[in-house]
């Protein structure tokens, strides 16, 4: 009996350690963002302190405000999401439901594009965008974001389209509805949930992207993940402000992640399941 | 050719070879082409075209800092690459980084999934907390670790090390410790992914096999070794494949934490290609490095997919 108790206790301890390890860096950033710089720098680290919104006020409304950068992140992420969905929904429907020659190859091509290392895409893209003056523009950055968001969205949507029974379409065709009308009126409403999940993931990936952003950004287009570097320089680090910016950059994705919690495993593993065996 | 009118597919099936059927099939093809066209044009423009252009630029000397020396050089970049110590070092760093982070993620993730699976209460906590690291931007994660966690005499990890009697360490300034740090950060962020996927597949395993094993008095270890592990194998291999691809092209977290340093201690091949192209502005050679990375990626994924098929 005592051995069993010891086991339970050990399991509990291990669980706590892991939960703490995962939550702590995020929690610590939140705490630091609510401190003054001297509280952040206090040694030993302070767990109890007088919280203040000062750092947030400074980074949002002070000089060198990151509001334009947050806006930049929003425009990039929303723009990428809209363009991606407009292209991915029809393509996924065709791959999941229609019969045509070369379908297998088309599906494989979409998967294979994901093998390309991003650095191999950005080098030539940088040269092209520089020539046509699209560095530091929203269209330039959104276009290249399609390289990772499209394959992902297509495959995730295919898995949702495949779940709808074929009878729905048949009934509509027999009623004399056109293909486009059937897709729009009958099929799309059936995959609303899947579309919502895909939107969440596409937005999340676009918000978090860094390599393309750091190469293509400038004074006009500078998402928050890149602008964050303004707060750490060789001369000094603005600790509390850096924490506040980190929290602001984390906030939307954490909220979306927790909201989409049930679908996250499916979203994270999409493509891999399809890749080798099943089809 | 026999007509295979799959009834459940109805109109969408391979239609009988009547005129009517042919027209329908043709219409379906056209409809499919119209639906696929925008996405495929975009993919051609943003993936296939850059790949071809990358291979093309890798045959040039293209120095943005010294444009007067630019020109076609054929395979010279690749010859240079083969005798470039920094390339071989970065390849080794890539392999160490990828191998250790993937191994750690799978082992810790699996152990934790087995542990949580047996928990009667508190599973919900794990499901929520585990999501947090994986949805974060690796750039933000890197920034948090670099400052609030690892900064000497300030970060929490250093604070713990001092209190454990190890003394303050230069976590990101010492070559070995820097490598350990970037591996730890990647492992911290992505173990929850392995954990969630493996927990989901554990939960889907049939209960009755375990009942039978229990009746046969199989020990816990035997049950794990003979039942759980074989059944979980596809999921484990899938996690390994996905995580390997990501680790090989990891960028943001290393870039923000060490930028490949100190020196080239944490410079994985991906980062080397970036630095060569965009810091040292030697685009032609950077392209050759990126092509090398693609080849390495293809070889490794080939091996992993072979592993997946092998029984």
> Which pLDDT value is given to residue A1?
59
Q: What is the mean pLDDT of chain B?
A: 89
Long-range contacts: A253-259, Cβ < 8 Å, 24+? A253/A204, A253/A207, A253/A208, A253/B135, A253/B136, A253/B137, A254/A26, A254/B132, A254/B135, A254/B136, A256/A200, A256/A203, A256/A204, A256/B135, A257/A204, A257/B131, A257/B132, A257/B134, A257/B135, A258/B128, A258/B131, A259/A200
CB contacts of A151 in chain B (<8 Å) are: 43
- Residue A74: count of CB within 10 angstroms of its CB: 15
Does residue B1 carry a pLDDT above 50?
no
In this structure, what token pair is assigned to residue B15? 């239609």
| Integer Cα distance of B197 and B239 in angstroms | 8
In this structure, what token pair is assigned to residue B155? 């970060």
For chain A, which residues make up each domain, given as ranges?
66-278
For the stretch A193-207, pLDDT in tens is 999 999 999 999 999
Does residue B117 contact residue B203 with C-beta atoms inside 8 Å?
yes
Farthest CA pair distance, chain B: 85
> Which pLDDT value is given to residue A275?
38
For the stretch B84-109, pLDDT in tens is 999 999 999 999 999 999 999 999 99
Report the gap between the CA of A222 and the closest CA in chain B (Å): 14
Residue in B145, B188, B238 nearest the CB of A273: B238
Report the gap between the CA of B216 and the closest CA in chain A (Å): 22
Mean per-residue pLDDT for A132-143? 95
Does residue B6 contact residue A54 with C-beta atoms inside 8 Å?
no
Does residue A33 contact residue A246 with C-beta atoms inside 8 Å?
yes
> Which pLDDT value is given to residue B311?
58
Residue in B39, B51, B248 nearest the CB of A87: B39
Does residue B225 contact residue B185 with C-beta atoms inside 8 Å?
no
**Residues in Cβ contact with A68 at an 8 Å cutoff, skipping those fewer than 6 apart:** A222
Closest CA to B203 of B101, B126, B105, B310: B126
Lookup result for tokens 């003979």: B226
* H, E, C per residue of chain A: CHHHHHHHHHHHHHHHHHHHHHHHHHHHHHHHHCCCHHHHHCCCCCCCCCCCCHHHHHHHHCCCCCHHHHHHHHHHHHHHHHHHHHHHHHHHHHHHHCCCCCHHHHHHHHHHHHHCCHHHHHHHHHHHHHHCCCCCCHHHHHHHHHHHHHHHHHHHHHHHHCCCCCHHHHHHHHCCCCHHHHHHHHHHHHCHHHHHHHHHHHHHHHHHCCHHHHHHCCCCCCCHHHHHHHHECCCCECHHHHHHHHHHHHHHHHHHHHHCHHHHHHHHHCCHHHHHHHC
Q: Is the Cβ pair A106, B249 closer than 8 Å?
A: no
Give the lowest-confidence range in A50-64, B11-25, B87-101, B148-162: B11-25
CB contacts of A100 in chain B (<8 Å) are: 28-29, 32-33
The CATH number for A66-278, chosen from 1.10.3720.10, 3.40.640.10, 1.10.1840.10, 1.10.150.20, is 1.10.3720.10
- What DSSP state is assigned to residue B226? I
Does residue B12 carry a pLDDT above 70?
no
Q: Is the Cβ pair A150, B245 closer than 8 Å?
A: no
| Integer Cα distance of A72 and A65 in angstroms | 13
Report percent pLDDT > 70 for chain A.
Answer: 95
Tell me the backbone φ, ψ of residue B269, rounded to 5 degrees. -55, -40
* Interface with chain B: mutation pick from A4, A7, A17, A22, highest number of B CBs within 10 Å: A22
Lookup result for tokens 């004074």: A219
CB contacts of B47 in chain A (<8 Å) are: 113, 116, 121, 147
> Which pLDDT value is given to residue B17?
57
- What does each C-alpha distance from A53 to A57, A60, A141, B150 come to in angstroms? 6, 11, 33, 25
Mean per-residue pLDDT for B217-244? 89
| Integer Cα distance of B235 and B238 in angstroms | 5
CB contacts of B54 in chain A (<8 Å) are: 120-121, 123-124
> Which pLDDT value is given to residue A272?
54
CB contacts of B70 in chain A (<8 Å) are: none
């Amino acid at each position: 009996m005592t051995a069993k108790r010891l086991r339970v206790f050990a399991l509990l301890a291990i669980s706590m350690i892991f939960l703490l390890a995962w939550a702590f860096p995020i929690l610590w950033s939140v705490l630091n963002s609510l401190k003054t710089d001297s509280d952040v720098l206090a040694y030993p680290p302070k767990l109890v302190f007088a919280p203040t919104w000062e750092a947030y006020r400074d980074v949002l409304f002070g000089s060198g405000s990151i509001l334009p950068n947050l806006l930049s992140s929003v425009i990039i992420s929303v723009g990428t999401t809209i363009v991606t969905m407009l292209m991915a929904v029809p393509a996924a429907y065709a791959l999941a439901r229609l019969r045509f020659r070369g379908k297998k190859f088309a599906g494989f091509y979409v998967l294979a594009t994901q093998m390309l290392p991003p650095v191999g895409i950005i080098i030539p893209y940088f040269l092209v965008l520089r020539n046509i003056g699209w560095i530091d523009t929203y269209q330039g950055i959104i276009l290249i974001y399609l390289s990772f968001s499209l394959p992902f969205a297509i495959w995730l949507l295919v898995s949702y389209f495949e779940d709808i029974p074929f009878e729905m379409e048949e009934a509509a065709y027999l009623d004399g509805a056109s293909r486009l009308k059937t897709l729009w009126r009958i099929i799309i409403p059936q995959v609303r949930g899947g579309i919502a999940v895909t939107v969440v993931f596409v937005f999340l990936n676009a918000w978090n992207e860094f390599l393309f952003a750091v190469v293509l950004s400038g004074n006009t287009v500078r998402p928050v993940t890149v602008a964050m570097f303004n707060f750490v320089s060789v001369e000094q680090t603005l600790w509390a402000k850096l924490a506040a910016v980190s929290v602001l950059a984390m906030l939307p994705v954490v909220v979306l992640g927790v909201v989409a919690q049930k679908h996250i495993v499916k979203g994270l593993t999409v493509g891999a399941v399809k890749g080798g065996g099943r089809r | 050719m026999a007509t295979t009118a799959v009834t459940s597919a109805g109109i969408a099936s391979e239609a009988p070879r009547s005129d009517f059927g042919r027209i329908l099939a043709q219409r379906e093809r056209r409809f499919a082409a119209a639906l696929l066209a925008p996405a495929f044009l975009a993919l051609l423009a943003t993936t296939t075209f850059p790949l071809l252009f990358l291979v093309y630029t890798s045959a040039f000397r293209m120095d943005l800092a010294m444009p007067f020396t630019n020109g076609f050089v054929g395979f010279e970049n690749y010859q240079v690459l083969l005798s470039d110590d920094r390339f071989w070092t970065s390849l080794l760093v890539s392999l160490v980084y990828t191998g250790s982070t993937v191994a750690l993620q799978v082992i810790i993730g699996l152990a934790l999934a087995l542990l949580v699976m047996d928990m009667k209460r508190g599973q919900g906590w794990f499901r929520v907390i585990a999501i947090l690291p994986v949805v974060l931007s690796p750039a933000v994660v890197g920034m948090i670790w670099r400052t609030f966690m690892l900064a000497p005499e300030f970060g929490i990890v250093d604070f713990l090390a001092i209190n454990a009697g190890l003394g303050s360490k230069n976590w990101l300034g010492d070559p070995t410790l820097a490598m350990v740090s970037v591996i730890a950060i990647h492992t911290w962020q992505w173990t929850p992914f392995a954990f969630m996927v493996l927990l989901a597949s554990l939960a889907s395993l049939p209960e009755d096999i375990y009942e039978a094993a229990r009746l046969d008095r199989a020990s816990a270890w035997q049950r794990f070794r003979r039942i759980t592990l074989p059944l979980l194998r596809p999921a484990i291999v899938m996690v390994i494949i996905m995580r390997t691809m990501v680790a090989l092209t990891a960028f943001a977290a290393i870039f923000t934490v060490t930028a490949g340093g100190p020196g080239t201690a944490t410079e994985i091949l991906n980062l080397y290609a970036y630095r060569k192209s965009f810091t040292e502005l030697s685009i032609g050679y950077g392209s050759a490095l990126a092509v090398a990375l693609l080849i390495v990626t293809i070889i490794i994924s080939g091996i992993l997919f072979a592993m997946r098929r092998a029984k």
